A = this chain, B = another copy of it.
Amino acid sequence: MVSQMTATPPASAPATRWSRRKDVRPGEILEAALKLFVEKGFRATKMEDIAREAGVTKGTPYLYYENKEEIFKAVIREGMLTKFDELEGLSGQDEASAETRLRQVIYRWWESIGNTRLAGLSKLMIAEAANFPELASFYHAEVIVRCRNMVRHVLEEGVERGEFHILNMDHAVEIVIAPLLLAMVWKHSFHNFESAKFDMPAHLDNVLDILINGLKTR
């Protein structure tokens, strides 16, 4: 999705009916599908819409994917993994305070996922989990659990250093993750109705203040 799904802008002047771009098509199709699935949901998205959005015709997606369901699976699968590799690679590099590192993790998540079209994936999986159980399982293992582990790791270090005082680690992890989820939901489902659009970095800042304050050793 990182490389494949970065669509090249539709050729400005297509002199011919079409061009052959076997290598980029799959990415363009997934990109288009991601956008529409996130917007309308799996069932409400028509194959022809995906094709049109990708700049091809009805039949072309079928050259690369068996059917609509396979496109959905590919969207999810290719969508998040690489980003996480990046994220996990970054975290843990420095020797700053746990507080600083927690803030870093959250900000980075916002930059590379939350503020990205990929955040829509989460909304998508929330909506379709019951219809695609194996995919939900995959998402749970590869996204939710990894996300929790990243947070848990920082929190545990904070506890070791005596910075944080945490009674129940599982629940503490959740409260850190919760506002991230909320941010994605606001962004993807109700942004049109929020009169004063959230300044998300500032929001995360304030939320972290409260949380870190609440987690701190007294």
Task: Give A residues with C-beta under 8 Å from B.
Answer: 39-44, 123, 125-131, 133, 136-137, 140-141, 144, 167-168, 170-172, 174-175, 177-179, 181-182, 185, 188-190, 192-194, 196, 198, 202-203, 206-207, 209-215
Tell me if B43 and A206 are in contact (CB < 8 A).
no
Known A136-B190, A193-B140, A214-B213; judge A181-B174 contact (CB<8 A).
no
Tell me if A129 and B190 are in contact (CB < 8 A).
yes
Docked complex Cα distance between A195 and B215 (Å): 26
A7 to chain B, nearest CB (A): 21
Tell me if A193 and B41 are in contact (CB < 8 A).
no
State the copy count for this chain. 4
A193 to chain B, nearest CB (A): 4
Jot down 5 A-B pairs with beta carbons below 8 A, ordered by A. Answer: A127-B128, A136-B189, A168-B206, A171-B202, A181-B181
Q: List B contacts of A178 (CB < 8 A).
A: 175, 178-179, 181-182, 207
Q: List B contacts of A189 (CB < 8 A).
A: 125-127, 129-130, 136
A45 to chain B, nearest CB (A): 9
Docked complex Cα distance between A151 and B180 (Å): 19
Q: List B contacts of A196 (CB < 8 A).
A: 170
A124 to chain B, nearest CB (A): 8
Q: List B contacts of A177 (CB < 8 A).
A: 182
Contact of A44 (CB < 8 Å), options: B43, B137, B179, B202: B43
Q: List B contacts of A167 (CB < 8 A).
A: 206, 209
Docked complex Cα distance between A190 and B134 (Å): 11
Contact of A40 (CB < 8 Å), options: B130, B192, B193: B130
Identify the interface centre among A128, A130, A210: most chain B CB within 10 Å of its CB: A210
Contact of A43 (CB < 8 Å), options: B41, B130, B181, B211: B41
